[in-house]
Amino acid sequence: MPQDNKPAKTPNPAPVTDQPSAKAPKTRAGKTRTKALGVQGLGSAVAVEKVDTEYLQTLMGYNARRAALSIIELFMERLAPYGLKPVDFSVMSTIHHNPGVTSRQLCATLNLLPPNLVGLIQSLESRGLIERQPHPHDGRALGLHASAKGQALMQQAEQTASDLELEKTAKLTAAERKTLLALLQKIYL
């Protein structure tokens, strides 16, 4: 029977970390294999005292995402009593301020995919927050309107959102806040 001359496959070595894992085998010295591997071939092992993100901080996307995450975390916490997630809030606010807006307009304005909006609209309607009414100019379309319950909810929710944004941007002056909004909008509008 002919033998295969291919070398036997060896399992991938354990990843290099500072933390021992349950899977890391021990060496004779009692260290885990990952610690024994250290940073072989790279010189002596080093410890990072202060993480350098100087390059990342030069990137617009990184900074915008970090700022957004710090606000969204608080937003989700504060708007939970209203039963609104960020996308629900955006859709409800747009409907509240634009009575008769169509689903197509919502998708275009908020950069939403139609299949994602269908379930969201159904959910808001089943909660009694919005109503569908015939569109005055397009017989095939339905306009979306905030119900009285939806209007009352949005007045409270928008006040909560405004308050938390002021809180999260307290280090900015009113002029800086206005400038930041204008600059961010220049990027995506």
List of E strands, the chain: 130-134, 142-146
Q: How far is CA 139 from CA 92, 95, 96, 118, 136, in A?
A: 23, 19, 22, 19, 7
Residue pLDDT, tens place only, 42-68: 567 888 899 999 999 999 999 999 999
Model pLDDT, residue 131? 96
For residue 171, name the pLDDT band (cuts at 50, 70, 90): very high
Model pLDDT, residue 42? 57
Q: Which residues lie below 8 Å from residue 25, measured CB to CB, with a gap of 6+?
A: 14, 32, 33
> Measured between alpha carbons, how far is 19 from 16 in angstroms, rounded to an integer?
9
> Measured between alpha carbons, how far is 36 from 16 in angstroms, rounded to an integer?
9
In percent, how much of the chain has pLDDT > 90? 69
> Measured between alpha carbons, how far is 184 from 31 in angstroms, rounded to an integer?
50
> Measured between alpha carbons, how far is 40 from 49 in angstroms, rounded to an integer?
20
Model pLDDT, residue 138? 79
Model pLDDT, residue 45? 83
Residue listed under structure tokens 């999260």: 168
Model pLDDT, residue 33? 46
> Measured between alpha carbons, how far is 112 from 147 in angstroms, rounded to an integer?
22
Residue pLDDT, tens place only, 63-112: 999 999 999 999 999 999 999 999 999 999 999 999 999 999 999 999 99
Residue pLDDT, tens place only, 139-156: 788 999 999 999 999 999
